[in-house]
Amino acid sequence: MSANPNIVIVGCGISGIAAARRLVKAGFQNVRILEATARSGGRIKTGRLGDSIVEIGANWIHGPSEGNPVFCLARQYGLLDPEALTPENQAMDVGGHPPWVPNVFSSSGRKLNAEDLQPALEMFSELLCESSEFHSQGGEPWPNVGDFIRSEVQQRAAEMWKDMDANTRSLQLCMISNMLKVECCVNGSHSLDEVGLGAFGLYKTLPGLDCTFPGGYEGLIKNLMSELPGGLVTYNQPVRFVHWNNTEKRENPVTVECDDGEKIAADHVIVTVPLGYLKKHHSTLFRPPLPLHKLHSVQRLGFGTNNKIYVEFDSPWWDHDCEVIYFVWEDEDAMLDQVSDLQGSWIKKLFGFTVLKPTERYGHALCGWIAGHESEYMETLSEQEVTHAITQLIRRFTGNPIITPRRVLRSQWFHDPWTCGSYSYPGKGCSVQDLENMMEPLPVKESQSQPLQVLFAGEATHPYYYSTVHGAFLSGCREADRLISHYSSISPSQPAK
């Protein structure tokens, strides 16, 4: 093992950048990042809707407070609005669900009174809390969150809503369907039937009311990149194979082979590719293949699709104080979160919109959210088809036949060949062991001569902040620290810079 090891990082998303930054700061000189695309940031991607800056990928800092390294960096770089920095904002603890002011519209073109839907909203919120409690109890009654919520709503509604008239009760159930679709977006899953009940509570939230980057999330990436030595990243350099356990080559136990045939000898490789990419390509990427227990965890963890459809208008059709708009289908009292006819009804999966604020910055713009196979299908349509579907939908729900969007912009994360979806969630049968397996380096049983050949970082390897930017950042730091402590244990002064 050389004293100044060759370390290759695969992927220049926030986790790869965090790992490189930590290693370089600790004095490691032979660090390289190989990135498949022409840019840094991965799922942090800022775009434009007309004159406005919008996020194609990550949107918020979830839980912006002292314990969140992304918040601390953004504050240090001066990237946040003053409001996000206030102690009050940092102290707000909302359990991952900000208390947004809603407007609710129904499929018969009525604006509903949000107060009238409180029974459904409250019951759903209680059931989400309860869904989080099973991981500490064990013995969950249902394998997935969807079945648990549906069965509990049925039982509780029979008791608590027994005096409601049939129409009111049906509308509450339709609202539950809408909430299930919201949660599909939050979890990045096709349906809550695919989210494991036993592991749902593994995800931890931080205090702080979610905030955005007024100049774009990519400002964080630019600042972090400016701290790295120039030339550290090779762009447009997809890695095709990671040959590990090269027993005949004691000097460099790993060889990274790129699409263009370049072979790079390394002592350590930190793989940060998204779980979606790993699910699709693990069998070719690793030679020898991943050990079975690790492979099973890659398969058990979920990685779905959540996309955005930005829509800009000349004037608002929502209330001045409105922060979120829900579209409730009046034929959905069966509490379904997936459509049966993908081509004909994909748009029904869009739960509604968040309102881009402040208006002075964004004009009258909304961000629509759609998860699952319906979202993946949406990606295959032309921009005109998406614009047509969204226009018809808004006209129907508002009862206003002339509303016309000025611009529409959508993300297409499923068809991004280097991501293959949006972010991870605990699938059915998952436990914390699966997340631990994800982060376990190869070879599993370290040999003295060839330890820590392949290390794993990325959002899907964080045991409780998976699916987030801060989780991804911390995972990169974790793997850098693993190498730093390895070298300080074998040679406390190396690498001495």
Positions in the binding site for ligand 6YU (CB under 6 A): 10-16, 34-37, 42-44, 57-60, 62, 96, 186-187, 203, 238-239, 272-274, 277, 306, 308, 411, 413, 418-419, 422-423, 458-459, 467-469, 472
Tokens of 342: 């993908």
Is 290 within 8 Å of 271 (Cβ atoms)? no
| Cβ nearer to ligand 6YU, comparing 43 with 478 | 43
Q: What's the min distance (Å) between Cβ of 9 and ligand 6YU?
A: 9
Fill in the amino acid letter for 64.
P
Q: Is 192 exposed, middle or buried (0-12, 13-18, 19+ CB in 10 A)?
A: buried
| Cβ nearer to ligand 6YU, comparing 450 with 468 | 468
Q: What's the min distance (Å) between Cβ of 262 and ligand 6YU?
A: 12
| Cβ nearer to ligand 6YU, comparing 59 with 106 | 59
How many whole angstroms separate alpha carbon 78 and alpha carbon 144? 42
| Cβ nearer to ligand 6YU, comparing 281 with 395 | 281
Q: What's the min distance (Å) between Cβ of 150 and ligand 6YU?
A: 18
Q: What's the min distance (Å) between Cβ of 420 and ligand 6YU?
A: 9
Is 234 within 8 Å of 32 (Cβ atoms)? yes
Nearest Cα neighbor of 174 from 327, 353, 341 is: 327
How many whole angstroms separate alpha carbon 114 and alpha carbon 122? 12
| Cβ nearer to ligand 6YU, comparing 175 with 469 | 469
Q: What's the min distance (Å) between Cβ of 464 and ligand 6YU?
A: 10
Sign of CA pseudo-dihedral 368, 412, 19, 215 = negative
| Cβ nearer to ligand 6YU, comparing 3 with 129 | 129
C-alpha dist (Å) from residue 455 to 208, 288, 325: 32, 15, 42
Burial 156-187 (b: 16+ CB within 10 A, else e): ebeeebeeeeeeebebbbbbbbbbbbbbbbbb
Residue 330: strand, helix, or coil: coil
| Cβ nearer to ligand 6YU, comparing 130 with 333 | 130
Is 488 within 8 Å of 22 (Cβ atoms)? no
Q: Which letter does DSSP use for residue 39 in this model?
A: S
Strand partners, 233: 33
H or E stretch including 270?
Answer: strand 268-271
How many whole angstroms separate alpha carbon 13 and alpha carbon 371? 22
Q: What's the min distance (Å) between Cβ of 50 and ligand 6YU?
A: 20
Q: Helices in 337-382 by DSSP H: which ranges?
A: 342-345, 359-362, 372-380
Q: What's the min distance (Å) between Cβ of 307 and ligand 6YU?
A: 6
Tokens of 66: 């002292």
| Cβ nearer to ligand 6YU, comparing 157 with 300 | 300
What phi, psi does 485 have (nearest 5°)? -70, -30
Q: What's the min distance (Å) between Cβ of 474 and ligand 6YU?
A: 10
Q: What's the min distance (Å) between Cβ of 180 and ligand 6YU?
A: 13
Q: What's the min distance (Å) between Cβ of 204 and ligand 6YU?
A: 9
| Cβ nearer to ligand 6YU, comparing 55 with 332 | 55
Angle between helices 69-76 and 469-490 (to 10 degrees): 100
| Cβ nearer to ligand 6YU, comparing 103 with 419 | 419
Determine if the peptide bond prior to 253 is cis (ω within 30°).
no
How many whole angstroms separate alpha carbon 18 and alpha carbon 480? 8
Tokens of 406: 């000025």
| Cβ nearer to ligand 6YU, comparing 307 with 338 | 307
Q: What's the min distance (Å) between Cβ of 144 and ligand 6YU?
A: 14
Provide Rg for the chain, Cα atoms.
Answer: 24
Q: What's the min distance (Å) between Cβ of 351 and ligand 6YU?
A: 13
Is 295 within 8 Å of 289 (Cβ atoms)? yes
C-alpha dist (Å) from residue 222 to 1, 85, 218, 271, 288: 34, 21, 6, 22, 36
| Cβ nearer to ligand 6YU, comparing 308 with 348 | 308
| Cβ nearer to ligand 6YU, comparing 31 with 157 | 31
Give the per-residue SS3 of 86-130.
Answer: CHHHHHCCCCCCCCCCEEEEECCCCEECHHHHHHHHHHHHHHHHH
Q: What's the min distance (Å) between Cβ of 422 and ligand 6YU?
A: 4
How many whole angstroms separate alpha carbon 384 and alpha carbon 394? 15
